[in-house]
């Protein structure tokens, strides 16, 4: 008997009744539970009863039940739950950490133990059990433990390091910082350094707190900086007040803040006053890079020149990549080639830039000049590989090569406690726990082990798990595992009812959820095609249907029916343009409308690779490439990828540049602090 849970954690009513009935059976007939042979069904029942004992704050009952489960795959998980609830069992937890050091529970158990020891002020025990961690709270407790055990030198060294952070530190650090400050460790210079770090990270609340700790000599600068941060338009009032070297950084910060509200105003002010400001070259380059990137994200033709004027020393990958995209957007092929050739060697060899170098060569010197770049690229089964094949008019390099892990390795892994635990989590409908266990297992496996894991997952019907195992192994050619044909009937049915190619629908599902019908995104999208509940309800109403509860989106038939209808509505909104509809499915139709070119239509491959959002760029490329692979899987001649890439039309009403900010000059000219 199994207890079932939906994704939102509510118990299935029928399973709940069964569970309580079995618990009653346990209480009435102990022999049922404690027979000499404990079947897997009885173990599951005991597991659920032990969990209930923890929830009921009955540790004695828990211990009585758990002793029967030492051979059960989820025994470590039960102990983990016990120690989260009763963290004072330090000796038991020590034994657990020795026995289960290679499980995913080791760190959470140690963390809970350390939290408990800190709460109880048991600092020597804390030092004994502490291990180096990225957890700042635990680090602060560690240095406080050193303080409490007399090692002040190390404690103050740690306090100084943790203090110099551009963001607020957790409350656990307060005793350490307070003692360090009382001991004279906190100097005005350190406070000012942290103030600057906070402002660089746009942490105005932290900066306002730090301002209170600054001596008078720093106050006017700190006040002005916070004013400019909160009201950047005020730098329009009296730019000359920022001419001093100490005020130049404030002006630069204000320009970056102003650019978020009114890019044109920020650019005009920067160009007018930059020559008059005493700014270090690095600070000037940072502002130039910031403004250049915002121009590029807005698809402004000035971006290529702006980003090109940044000295190479102060370029980064983002500025280099976006300079290429700015040249692409302007179809400045000489600029595209020049910018690509200026990349670091490793970046220059990436497939995206190889493709665009070939396109630049083709545009400037003809197809023959580009052929030697296109040919190796066309051997790749991805977006740019398929695009290269289309330029050469050759077949796509889509070939199935099944994984062949060793039989012994598959058998060994299949009998491992990790795989058994995953099976049990799934049998108990603890899907999230199963996924966590799977991800931890993958992190421990070598290439051969990952292939074995993929094969096991495929045989078990763990669709998403198999796909991710192959991705971790970087094995791209087993099409049956990476691109399965699950849900073929509803995909075909609803694709045809909305005049869509089944391969394209499969491409969306594969990218959205990797066939996890219970997938749930951080923003609330659900199911195979990752529909937002509000969107799903709106689509259902248009179909004269009722969605019911949000959990209905976990039903594959329902999700595919509504998802295909929604995609069809996006196609109609964008006049049948598949690229725009696909981008809108990911980023929303209003954003896509803003991203359309202003003055003339744009080749779709350029538009795709210059979408401002990295996630959406990757999404559109993936869906189109997956659709090509699914055509192969479905034995459908279908379309070439270029057939989906109609020119992207101009938007109907170009947006106005900037928001016409009017500065409200409420403070008098600054008394500039000289420093």
What domains lie within the chain, and their CATH numbers?
Answer: 407-476 (1.10.1240.20), 488-644 (1.10.530.10)
Round to whole Å and give the CA distance between 232 and 222: 14
CA distances (Å), origin 381, targets 8, 434, 477, 514, 627:
37, 31, 9, 18, 11
Round to whole Å and give the CA distance between 603 and 363: 13
Q: Give per-residue pLDDT as tens, 317-337.
A: 999 999 999 999 999 999 999
List, in sequence order, every residue forming a beta bridge with 526; answer none if it has no partner: 520, 531
Q: Give per-residue pLDDT as tens, 478-529.
A: 999 999 999 999 999 999 999 999 999 999 999 999 999 999 999 999 999 9
Confidence tier at 246 by pLDDT (50, 70, 90): low
**pLDDT above 60 for 670:** no
| Structural contact between residues 69 and 75, judged by C-beta atoms closer than 8 angstroms | yes
Output the CA torsion 511→512→516→517 (10° steps): -140
For Cα atoms 92, 95, 101, give the angle at the middle one, nearest 5 degrees: 130
| Structural contact between residues 93 and 80, judged by C-beta atoms closer than 8 angstroms | no
Helices and strands per DSSP (H, E), number in the chain? 38, 0
pLDDT of residue 128: 97
502-512 vs 614-633: helix axis angle to the nearest 10? 130
* b/e 395-423 (16+ beta carbons within 10 angstroms → b): ebbbeeeebebeeebbeebbebebbbbbb
Rounded (to 5) percent helix, strand, coil in the chain: 65, 0, 30
Q: Which helix (H) or strand (E) holds 213?
A: none
pLDDT of residue 235: 81
Round to whole Å and give the CA distance between 251 and 245: 10
Mean pLDDT, the chain, integer:
91
Round to whole Å and give the CA distance between 520 and 509: 13
| Structural contact between residues 88 and 98, judged by C-beta atoms closer than 8 angstroms | no
Q: 407: alpha, beta or left, given left = phi > 0 and alpha = psi -120 to 50?
A: alpha
* b/e 119-132 (16+ beta carbons within 10 angstroms → b): eeebbebbbeebee
Q: Which helix (H) or strand (E) holds 517?
A: none
List, in sequence order, every residue forming a beta bridge with 520; answer none if it has no partner: 526
For Cα atoms 430, 431, 435, give the angle at the middle one, nearest 5 degrees: 125
pLDDT of residue 167: 97
**pLDDT above 90 for 288:** yes
Round to whole Å and give the CA distance between 123 and 133: 17
Output 218 or 37, whichever has higher pLDDT: 218
pLDDT of residue 529: 98
Residue where the block lists tokens 């055990």: 149
Reading the block at residue 564, the tokens are 């295909």
Confidence tier at 668 by pLDDT (50, 70, 90): very low
Q: Which of 443, 446, 425 is nearest to 435 (CA)?
A: 425
Tell me how crowded residue 341 is: count the other CB atoms within 10 A of its CB.
Answer: 11
Q: Provide mean pLDDT across the span 159-177.
A: 98
Round to whole Å and give the CA distance between 72 and 420: 9
Q: Provide mean pLDDT across the span 31-47.
A: 72
Q: Provide mean pLDDT across the span 624-636.
A: 97
List, in sequence order, every residue forming a beta bridge with 11; answer none if it has no partner: 5
**pLDDT above 80 for 410:** yes
pLDDT of residue 369: 86
Cα 611 to chain centroid distance, Å, stands at 18
Reading the block at residue 215, the tokens are 């001596």
| Structural contact between residues 462 and 455, judged by C-beta atoms closer than 8 angstroms | no
Q: Which residues neighbour 623 within 8 Å (Cβ) at sequence distance 6 or greater?
A: 504, 507, 508, 511, 582
pLDDT of residue 23: 52
CA distances (Å), origin 613, targets 297, 317, 620:
9, 16, 11
Percent of the chain past pLDDT 70, that is, above it, reads 90
**pLDDT above 60 for 5:** no
Round to whole Å and give the CA distance between 131 and 579: 50
Q: Which residues neighbour 642 within 8 Å (Cβ) at sequence distance 6 or greater?
A: 387, 390
| Structural contact between residues 207 and 198, judged by C-beta atoms closer than 8 angstroms | yes
Round to whole Å and give the CA distance between 95 and 389: 59
pLDDT of residue 19: 46
pLDDT of residue 641: 98
List, in sequence order, every residue forming a beta bridge with 531; answer none if it has no partner: 526
pLDDT of residue 637: 83
pLDDT of residue 427: 96
Confidence tier at 36 by pLDDT (50, 70, 90): very low
The residue count of the chain comes to 675
| Structural contact between residues 487 and 556, judged by C-beta atoms closer than 8 angstroms | yes
**pLDDT above 60 for 674:** no
Residue where the block lists tokens 């239509």: 601
| Structural contact between residues 63 and 86, judged by C-beta atoms closer than 8 angstroms | no
pLDDT of residue 577: 98
CB-based burial label for 92 (10 Å; 0-12, 13-18, 19+): middle
Q: Provide mean pLDDT across the span 405-416.
A: 96
Q: Which residues neighbour 253 within 8 Å (Cβ) at sequence distance 6 or greater?
A: 199, 225, 228, 229
Percent of the chain past pLDDT 90, that is, above it, reads 84
CA distances (Å), origin 367, targets 251, 335, 370, 393, 397:
49, 18, 5, 12, 20
């Amino acid at each position: 008997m199994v207890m079932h849970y939906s994704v939102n954690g509510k118990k299935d009513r029928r399973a709940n009744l069964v569970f309580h009935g079995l618990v009653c059976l346990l209480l009435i007939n102990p022999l049922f539970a404690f027979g000499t042979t404990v079947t897997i069904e009885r173990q599951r029942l005991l597991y659920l009863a032990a969990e209930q004992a923890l929830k009921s704050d009955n540790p004695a009952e828990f211990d009585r039940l758990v002793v029967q489960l030492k051979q059960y795959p989820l025994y470590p998980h039960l102990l983990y739950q016990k120690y989260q609830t009763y963290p004072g069992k330090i000796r038991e937890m020590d034994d657990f950490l020795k026995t289960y050091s290679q499980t995913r529970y080791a760190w959470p158990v140690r963390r809970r133990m350390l939290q408990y020891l800190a709460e109880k002020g048991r600092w020597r025990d804390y030092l004994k059990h502490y291990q180096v961690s990225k957890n700042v709270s635990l680090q602060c407790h560690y240095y406080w433990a050193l303080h409490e055990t007399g090692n002040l030198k190390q404690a103050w060294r740690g306090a100084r390091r943790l203090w110099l952070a551009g963001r607020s530190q957790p409350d656990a650090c307060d005793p350490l910082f307070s003692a360090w400050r009382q001991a004279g460790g906190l100097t005005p210079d350190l406070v000012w350094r942290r103030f600057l770090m906070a402002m660089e990270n746009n942490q105005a609340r932290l900066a306002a707190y730090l301002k209170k700790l600054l001596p008078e000599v720093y106050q006017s600068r700190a006040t002005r900086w916070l004013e400019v941060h909160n009201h950047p338009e005020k730098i329009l009032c009296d730019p000359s007040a920022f001419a001093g070297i100490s005020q130049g950084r404030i002006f630069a910060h204000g320009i970056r803040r102003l650019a978020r509200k009114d890019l044109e105003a920020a650019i005009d002010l920067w160009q007018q006053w930059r020559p008059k400001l005493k700014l270090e070259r690095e600070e000037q380059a940072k502002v130039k890079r910031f403004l250049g990137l915002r121009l590029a994200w807005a698809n402004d033709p000035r971006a290529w020149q702006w980003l090109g004027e940044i000295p190479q020393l102060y370029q980064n990958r983002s500025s280099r990549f976006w300079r290429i995209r700015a040249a692409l957007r302007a179809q400045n092929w000489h600029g595209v080639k020049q910018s690509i050739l200026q990349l670091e060697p490793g970046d220059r060899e990436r497939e995206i830039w190889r493709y665009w170098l070939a396109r630049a060569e083709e545009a400037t010197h003809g197809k023959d000049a580009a052929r030697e770049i296109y040919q190796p690229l066309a051997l790749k089964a991805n977006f740019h590989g398929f695009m290269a094949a289309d330029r050469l008019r050759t077949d796509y390099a889509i070939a199935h090569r099944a994984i062949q892990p060793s039989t012994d390795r598959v058998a060994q892994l299949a009998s491992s406690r990790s795989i058994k635990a995953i099976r049990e989590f799934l049998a108990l409908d603890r899907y999230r726990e199963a996924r966590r266990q799977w991800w931890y297992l993958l992190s421990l496996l070598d290439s051969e082990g990952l292939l074995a894991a993929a094969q096991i997952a495929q045989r078990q019907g763990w669709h998403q798990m198999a796909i991710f195992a192959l991705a971790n192994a970087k094995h791209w050619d087993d099409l049956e595992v990476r691109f399965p044909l699950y849900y073929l009937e509803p995909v075909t049915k609803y694709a045809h009812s909305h005049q869509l190619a089944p391969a394209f629908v499969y491409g969306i599902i594969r990218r959205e959820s990797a066939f996890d019908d219970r997938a749930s995104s951080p923003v609330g999208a659900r199911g195979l095609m990752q529909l937002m509940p509000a969107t799903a309800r709106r689509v259902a109403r248009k179909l004269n249907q009722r969605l019911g509860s949000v959990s209905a989106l976990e039903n594959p038939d329902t999700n595919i029916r509504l998802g295909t209808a929604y995609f069809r509505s996006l196609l109609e909104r964008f006049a049948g343009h598949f690229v725009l509809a696909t981008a809108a499915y990911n980023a929303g139709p209003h954003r896509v409308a803003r991203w359309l070119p202003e003055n003339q239509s744009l080749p779709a491959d350029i538009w795709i690779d210059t979408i401002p959002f990295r996630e959406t760029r990757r999404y559109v490329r993936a869906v189109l490439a997956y659709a090509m692979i699914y055509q192969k899987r479905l034995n459908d001649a279908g379309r070439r990828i270029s057939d989906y890439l109609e020119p992207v039309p101009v938007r109907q009403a170009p947006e106005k540049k900037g928001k016409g900010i009017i500065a409200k000059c409420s403070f008098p000219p600054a008394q500039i602090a000289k420093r």
